[in-house]
Amino acid sequence: MRYLTKQSIEDIAIGAAVLGTGGGGDPTLGRWMALAALEEHGPCPLLSVDEVDDEALVVPSGMMGAPTVLAEKIPGGTELDSAFELMEQALGRRIEATMPVEVGGVNSLLPLVLALRKGIPVIDADAMGRAFPEVHMTSFHLDGLPPGPAAIADEKGNGVLLYPKDGTWYERLARDLTIQMGCSVAVLDYPLSGQQVKQSGILSTLSLAEQWGSLLRQARGDGLDPAGVLMEKTGALPLIRGKVTDVDRRTDGGFTKGALDLEGIEDWRGKNLQLSFQNEFLVARAGEEVLASTPDLITVLDNETGLPITTEAIRYGMRVWALAFPCHPKWRTERGIDVVGPRCFGYDFEFVPAELRRGVRK
């Protein structure tokens, strides 16, 4: 076990926003909340999965809804407490640890807030290795683990327990509830044993986020090009270095949906790229040619600072890098593509790994 410090949280916030592919909520909000909780309660214990007892009760935690709404309707923390208490009542036993369900944006850090408030550790793992927009899009769902009971709570004092038949029904029911509750709610779901986390989780992702955040921070401090350093160290693939020329963004069905257009700058002059998103960036196209798509990661970084930019924060005129990263191998299986591939989001093409797309620079 090790303890997360203020610097750890700062680095996780940045790295998780890279892994979050534009979604998961603004990491700045999660960073503020986690740092405040750290100040009040002391360092946050982080467990590797090897340190988790096989019989321990682990329940992932986070927020569900549209990131644009979350940026304006800031959670106070009571929503997480309410959902936690509902879950313990439903299960009839004490929750012994929590973890992110996605290592993206605010949802990578809110489990730390909850853990500190409840005096339990956080596990160094998640269920996506990135962020996805729908709640059943997890490695737990791939392995057939049930999502319920699921506890959902809002800032008004409403709380709901769901016992969905499966992950697909969970998304349908929870999404409708989230819309009625203001498009931003706290959620605890997929109660698991320690053994199930070891078998089905995507491991060491908080450490990976911390590593990537530290890499970008040190590159800035050394006067280097942060995006260039990230590409060199991680194997990320450049899609374009460009200027944002148009942003179409709306809240629809409990999601932030839209697209943005990029026009190449510097060595990329004459190139154009469009990024489509549903909370997260899902598809990168140059004209009719697809350069990268879900489940691979598509991330946008500020051209100067290398800081990741979320889909709700991107604005006309920004100079940015768009990069692609290979997803976790679980998502490139036949089952993984069935759950999070392009066709799941209404795109009429098959998934091809970004490194095999001919328009992507190696």
> What's the residue count for the chain?
362
Q: Which helix (H) or strand (E) holds 247?
A: strand 237-252
Cα-Cα-Cα-Cα torsion 347, 349, 354, 355, nearest 10 degrees, comes to 180
pLDDT at 275: 98
Contact partners, residue 150, CB within 8 Å, separation at least 6: 161, 162, 163, 164, 170, 174, 187, 188, 189, 190
Give the pLDDT of residue 82.
96
pLDDT at residue 318, rounded to an integer:
97
Integer Cα distance of 182 and 169 in angstroms: 20
Complete DSSP assignment for 21-68: TT-SS-HHHHHHHHHHHHHHH-PEEEE-GGGS-TT-EEEEEEEEE-HH
With CA atoms as reference, report the closest residue to 59 among 129, 149, 136: 149
Q: By three-state DSSP, how is residue 154 classified?
A: coil
Q: What are the tens digits of pLDDT across the range 104-129?
A: 888 999 999 999 999 999 999 999 99
pLDDT digits (tens, 9 = 90+) for 313-326: 999 999 999 999 99
**DSSP result, 176-199:** HHHHHTTSEEEEE---EEHHHHHH
Q: Which pLDDT does position 106 carry in this prediction? A: 85
Contact 185, 254 (CB under 8 A): no
Distance (Å, rounded) from C-alpha 277 to C-alpha 236?
A: 19
Take residue 93 and report the two structure tokens written for it: 């036993």
Q: What pLDDT score was predicted for residue 208?
A: 97
282's tokens: 């899902």
pTM given for the model? 0.94
**pLDDT recorded at residue 25:** 72
- pLDDT at residue number 252: 86
| Listed residue (153, 44, 142) closest to 89, CA to CA | 153
pLDDT score at 77: 65
Residue-by-residue pLDDT tens, the chain, 362 positions: 899 999 999 999 999 999 999 987 778 888 888 999 999 999 999 999 999 999 999 999 998 886 666 556 666 668 999 999 999 999 999 999 999 999 988 899 999 999 999 999 999 999 999 999 999 999 999 999 999 999 999 999 999 999 999 999 999 999 999 999 988 899 999 999 999 999 999 999 999 999 999 999 999 999 999 999 999 999 899 999 999 999 999 988 878 899 999 999 999 999 999 999 998 999 999 999 999 999 999 999 999 999 999 998 999 999 999 999 999 999 999 999 999 999 999 999 999 999 998 777 76
pLDDT the model gives residue 69: 61
The per-residue pLDDT for 68 is: 60
